[in-house]
Amino acid sequence: MIRLPLILFFSAGLFSVGVYGVLARRNAVLVLMSIELMLNAVNVNLVGFSQLWHDLTGQVFALFVIAVAAAEVGIGLALVILIYRNRETININEVNLLKW
Amino acid sequence: MVGEIAALAPSVFVKDAWLIALLPFVSAALTLFVGKRTPGKGSVYGITAMAVGLVMSLGVLWHFVNNGGPYEANVSWFQIGPLAMQLGEYVDGLTAIMVVVVTAISLCVHVYSLGYMKDDVRYTWFYVVLSLFTGAMLNVVIASNLFQLLVGWEVMGVCSYLLIGHWWEDKTNSNAAIKAFLTTRVGDVPFMFGIFALIFATGFTTSNIQVIGRTVAEGHVSSALVAAAALLLFGGTIGKSAQFPLHVWLPDAMAGPTPVSALIHAATMVAAGVYLVGRLFEVFVHADAFVLQTVGVVGAITMVGAAFLAFVQDDIKRVLAYSTVSQLAYMVVGMSMGPAGRTAGFFHLFTHAFFKALLFLGAGSVIHAVHSNNMSEMGGLRKKLPITFWTFLIGSLALAGVPPLAGFWSKDELLVVADETGHTVLFALLLATALLTAFYMTRAVLLTFFGGYRGHDQPHESPKTMTGVLIALAGASIGVGLLGAPQLGDAVFGKWVFFEEVEKAVFVPWIAGVSVAAALIGIAFGWLVYRTHTERDPIRRLGPAYTLLEQKYYMDTFYMKGIVFPIRDKVSAAVYWINQNVLDGAVNAMAPLTKLVARVVNAFDRKAIDGVVNGVAETAGFTGGLLRYVQSGNVQRYAAFLFAGVVIFAIIFTRV
């Protein structure tokens, strides 16, 4: 049995790595991947608390998050492909038309 | 058979008598709107309306021939507080007589004008106003209340004005029109106050003439109010019927076309004043005796004064105009002698309407022939205008009072009444006026039709439309007097027009003898003076008296110098000065003031109000300018803000 604080620390670390990736990476694909890390950090939390309380609701919720994440990645990658076709780049710093 | 039915109940003619008054209005509107597109330029409408109206009027009269009673019908018009205004008709024998006279004379004049006004510039318009006038007069006659009567009364005034000034291109004509209008208005003001006084007497409930009559007769109204109302009403009569001292407009009104003079200024409109006294006779009878005495004195002065003025006129129409003034005064004097005098006065009005219309139309025929109004340019027309001559002669004899023509019977009736009621002075004056009348009519006939021709144009007899009318009216002038002739059993006229009880015509041989003698003396004297007529009018030999008459007793001079000029020169000059200096000064001062205020307001608007509005906008723009740099377009910076926000919220909530 893994103790809850360990799980929470792990989850927080995983989430922080995700945030760093989202904020620092220039490559759109890597940004998407970082978002996956953040989502899975949440999943770890959900499963951890589910185990603590002996309640399956958290695990079911985690399954939903996985499904939604899959869909999100599908749409995100499609967008990236379209951006690449139009701009010849997937550097999100160069995708900044929508500004003042 | 019809008579028996009519005697039982009011016939359809009596019930729908208001249609008689409505018809001329319809024809006036038709003539106005489609007259110019109608063959014959629209005179057909007026003539048709008058002919139908005459038939209906005779139908109304038939009811009274069969001893029918009076009939009244009203519809509600509007209500002001307790004062109920109505539109209605009141038909009695007097109304019947008046509608017959008005429609008959009007029909004659409409037909006569076909010839007289032929090729006139405003032919259609002439017929419009002629019809409108007739409608207004019939409205006066039929009206059951004083307001309706007043409306007709004023419309008549306007039509009179329009018709006198029909040839307004000539300044004297339009001046005469203005004079007639303003002078009659002087009388209309007291008339209106008289109406108000009578409505006040009924407690502000109605202006119905019959109700007013009953109220006054019951004696609940103070005698001072009744006397004041009667005198004020008589003011209207003085104006409309051209009595002294407001008679001055009538001779000048001869500037209008002659048919107009015949219709309005001889037979109908001027009789409206007399009709008014007769219609409101209750008020006059129940007022203080002093009121009827005043009426009598005014009538007597006018009667004699105007007859003398007719002596010196050269214009044939002016002779007739003064004669009209004098004869109207005859009727007024009749009214002043009480109920019997009222009947006699209306009988004179009835006969006078026919022979005076005849005389005017005859004069018109003469004027048509010689193209001049002046008798000094006529003479010897007896042979050239035979029909006109004979009809004019009949009219003159009727006016002079030669039996058995119409004027004799009515004058005789007035003299009998004067004798019976003990008005000795009035009797003498009536007789004297009869003599004077005979004299000036003889003068007019001799100057016009006898002697040598003094004019320039080639005279010719008038067209058939004109002579036909003259013949018809001459027939009437001979015949209508018999309606009041005592020899034919009970006089018919007294059964139609009476006050409280039927008046019987009385024949007093010595009075008839004196009356005929007066007429014959007048004629004989005129014949002696004018038989051998020279270039110079013999009347001029009177010297100072002639000058006095020539100047119309200096009354016009007095009115002009005493009233018109001071108002025109002093009052209007003063008003002009006030207008130029005070009013214009105020107005002119207002302009810079307004400009100054406008400048201040303008500055305030631009600086203060616009400043606030612009300030708000600029502030918003400046702030927006600063804030827009947040929108960098860099997704990762947005995400950083997002996380920063979440972290801040997380710290806040965990603290709490």
Distance from CA of A20 to the nearest CA of B (A): 10
**CB-CB contact of B97 with B346 (8 Å):** yes
Share of chain B above pLDDT 90, in %: 19
Test the A interface: residue of B626, B630, B632, B635 with most A CBs within 10 Å: B635
Instruction: Give residues with Cβ within 8 angstroms of B641, minimum separation 6.
Output: none
* pLDDT tens sequence across B495-529: 777 776 777 777 788 888 888 888 899 888 888 88
Q: Which has the higher per-residue pLDDT, A67 or B584?
A: A67
**Does the beta-carbon distance from A98 to B639 stay under 8 Å?**
no
**Does the beta-carbon distance from A96 to B634 stay under 8 Å?**
yes
Which of these, B581, B450, B587, B583, lies nearest to B526 by C-alpha position? Answer: B450
**CB-CB contact of B127 with B113 (8 Å):** yes
Question: CB-hemisphere CA count at 13 Å for B526?
Answer: 26
Which of these, B396, B388, B354, lies nearest to B368 by C-alpha position? Answer: B388
Neighbouring CB atoms inside 10 A of B64's CB total 24
Cα gap B277→B267, rounded to integer Å: 16
Distances (CA, A) of B626 to A97, B270, B374, B619, B635: 19, 95, 104, 11, 20
Question: Mean pLDDT over residues B201-210, rounded?
Answer: 85
Q: Which has the higher per-residue pLDDT, B11 or B210?
A: B210
**Does the beta-carbon distance from A100 to B629 stay under 8 Å?**
yes
Cα gap B494→B228, rounded to integer Å: 30
Of A19, A22, A96, the CB nearest to B633: A96
**Does the beta-carbon distance from A23 to B640 stay under 8 Å?**
yes
Question: ∠ at Cα B159 (B468, B138), nearest 5°?
Answer: 70
Which of these, B296, B348, B344, B268, lies nearest to B498 by C-alpha position? Answer: B344
Q: Is the pTM of this model over 0.90?
A: no
**Does the beta-carbon distance from A99 to B632 stay under 8 Å?**
yes
Cα gap B302→B296, rounded to integer Å: 10
* pLDDT tens sequence across A30-89: 999 999 999 999 999 999 999 999 999 999 999 999 999 999 999 999 999 999 999 888
Of A23, A97, A98, the CB nearest to B636: A23
**CB-CB contact of B361 with B406 (8 Å):** no
**Does the beta-carbon distance from A99 to B633 stay under 8 Å?**
yes
**CB-CB contact of B431 with B520 (8 Å):** no
B→A contacts (Cβ < 8 Å), by residue, are: 628-629, 631-636, 639-640, 643
Question: ∠ at Cα B62 (B398, B408), nearest 5°?
Answer: 15
Mind spelling out the 3-state secondary structure of B87-105? EEEEECHHHHHHHHHHHHH
List for chain B the helix, strand, coil content (%; round to 5).
Answer: 75, 5, 20
The least confident of B280-294, B563-577, B616-630 is B563-577
Question: Mean pLDDT over residues B231-256, rounded?
Answer: 88
A→B contacts (Cβ < 8 Å), by residue, are: 19, 22-24, 31, 92-93, 95-100
Distance from CA of B587 to the nearest CA of A (A): 60
The least confident of A54-63, B393-402, B443-452, B560-569 is B560-569
Cα gap B643→B437, rounded to integer Å: 127
Give the model's confidence band at B593: pLDDT under 50 very low, under 70 low, under 90 confident, else very high. Answer: very high
Cα gap B619→B616, rounded to integer Å: 5
Interface size, chain A vs chain B, as Cβ–Cβ contacts under 8 Å? 31
**Does the beta-carbon distance from B636 to A22 stay under 8 Å?**
yes
Question: CB-hemisphere CA count at 13 Å for B596?
Answer: 5
Distances (CA, A) of B381 to A65, B113, B385, B448, B454: 133, 22, 6, 6, 10
**Does the beta-carbon distance from A23 to B643 stay under 8 Å?**
yes
User: How do strand B83-91 and strand B71-80 relate by DSSP bridges?
Assistant: antiparallel
- Provide the ipTM: 0.84
Cα gap B84→B144, rounded to integer Å: 13
- The dihedrals phi and psi of B245, each to the nearest 5 degrees, come to -100, 15
Distance from CA of B641 to the nearest CA of A (A): 10
What is the structure's pLDDT at B559? 81
- B145 forms beta bridges with B208
Distances (CA, A) of B321 to B45, B231, B309: 29, 25, 10
- Structure token digits, residue B534: 């020279």
